[in-house]
Amino acid sequence: MKKLATFALMTVLATSAFAHSPVDHTTPENGATITEVPPEISFNFANDIRLTRVDMLHQDHPSVRLDLRDQTSFDRVFTLPLEGMGKGTYRIEWRGLGSDGHAMQGEFSFTVE
Partner 1 sequence: MPDIWGIAAIFAKLTLYFGVVGSTGLVIILATFPNLVLPLCRRIKAKAVVLAGLSIFAAMFGFMLRGAALTGDADGMTDPEMLGLLWQTPVGDVLVYRIAGMAILIAGMFIPRFGRWVSLAGGTIALWSFAKIGHVPDLQQTGVRLLLLLHLLGIAFWIGILGPLRNLSRLPEHLDDAALLGHRFGQAAAVIVPVLILAGLLMAWLLLGDLRALLSTGYGQTLLIKLVLVGAILILAAANKLRFVPAMQAGDSKAAQHLARSIEIETAVILVVLAATATLTSVQTLPN
Chain residues that interact with partner 1, rule: CB under 8 A: 1-2, 5, 8-9, 11-20, 50, 52-53, 55, 93, 95-101, 103, 105
Instruction: Give the nearer residue to partner 1 in terms of CB position, either 19 or 34.
Output: 19
Instruction: Kindly compute the dihedral angle of the four CA atoms of residues 78, 84, 85, 86, in this order, to the nearest 10 degrees.
Output: 120
Shortest spacing between CB 62 and partner 1, in angstroms = 15
Shortest spacing between CB 102 and partner 1, in angstroms = 9
Shortest spacing between CB 108 and partner 1, in angstroms = 16
φ and ψ of 5, to 5 deg: -65, -45
Shortest spacing between CB 14 and partner 1, in angstroms = 7
* d(C-alpha 35, C-alpha 52), whole Å: 29
Instruction: Give the nearer residue to partner 1 in terms of CB position, either 49 or 82.
Output: 49
Instruction: Give the nearer residue to partner 1 in terms of CB position, either 35 or 72.
Output: 72
* d(C-alpha 14, C-alpha 88), whole Å: 32
Instruction: Give the nearer residue to partner 1 in terms of CB position, either 33 or 63.
Output: 63
User: Under the phi-then-psi rule, with left for phi > 0, alpha for psi from -120 to 50, and beta for the rest, what region is 71?
Assistant: beta
Dihedral of alpha carbons 17, 44, 34, 58, sign? negative
